[in-house]
Structure 1
Amino acid sequence: MSLQISKAQFKHLEQACESRFEARLLAHLRRSFPAQMAASDDALSERLVQHLVSRARHWGMVSEADVAAYAELAMHLHPRFDEHPDFSWAQSILADEFIVAPELRLQILNDAAARRETSRVRAPLAS
């Protein structure tokens, strides 16, 4: 005897798993970015997480770890960094068809963001 799950049941299970993941991600972001997350009410925070998950999935992030890493990067840069004109460098990395592994794409994004942050923080020496 085999167990069969209908498409509707599978879809419901998938949605329940995604909702649980979003709740865990929201809790993680609240712990990791307390000042930023405190500025938003619960409904806005939930919409932010849904947006971040949706954008991560759009860019090929499948695993929860990759989606969470994308969300953390977005919290550091800008919630819509993949659409914002100030982050064209990140958009180029995300759209690069030769970077197929999500983990590699995230690593390249994080490295590029760190380089930009370092160069932005350093002030030129006074002459």
Structure 2
Amino acid sequence: MSPIIRDAQLSALRKVQIRRFEAWVESHLQRHFPEACEAAGEAQVRGDIRHGIARAGAYGITAERQVCQYIDLMFVLGRDFDMDPSLPWAGEILREESGISERERIRLLYVRAMEHLGEADRKLPPEAEHG
């Protein structure tokens, strides 16, 4: 007889995976945005990570690498950059429904953000590597 994995066990496994990903993203943010992380404090950074995971998910962005990149964009462009009227291109790219992949949407966001940041002299980290 094979063991049965119950819903509660699956839920617990998902929570562990999410917490592990959140910890990895926090470490990534500490490396690439140390001043912002220090100024915000640990609790705020964790809250921002959870907010970013939820916002990315609302746009169908669920792959860990792309979610991390979305959070990077939050740290550079602002927590709610996707709804910022001064960055209309961000929401347009995220809401794009022509069948482009989440990877391509994040790539387009990075390209457009780099153009925008070139005007503001701010930097994005290289595309996130998650392993």
TM-score, normalised to structure 2, is: 0.84
Could you say which residue in structure 2 is the equivalent of 1:17? 17
1:1-127 equivalence runs, <5 A: 1-119=1-119
Distance 1:99 1:73 in 2: 22
- Following superposition, the deviation at residue 118 of structure 1 comes to 2.8
TM-score, normalised to structure 1, is: 0.87
Distance 2:54 2:7 in 1: 22
Partner of 1:39: helix, strand, or coil? helix
CA deviation string 1:81-109 (max 9, x = no partner):
01222221100110110143010000111
Q: How many residue pairs were aligned?
A: 121
More relative contact order in 1 or in 2 (CA 8 Å, sep 6+)?
Answer: 2
> Which 5+ residue runs of structure 2 have no aligned equivalent?
122-131
Amino acid aligned to 1:56: A
Q: Is the 8 A contact 1:99 1:105 kept in 2?
A: no
> Which 5+ residue runs of structure 1 have no aligned equivalent?
122-127
Q: Is the 8 A contact 1:61 1:67 kept in 2?
A: yes
Q: Percent identity?
A: 31
Distance 1:25 1:116 in 2: 24
Amino acid aligned to 2:29: L
Q: Is the 8 A contact 1:26 1:45 kept in 2?
A: yes
Runs of 4+ in structure 1 over 4 Å off = none
Partner of 1:86: helix, strand, or coil? coil
Question: RMSD of the alignment, in Å?
Answer: 1.5
Distance 1:33 1:120 in 2: 17
Amino acid aligned to 2:62: V
Structure showing greater Rg: 1
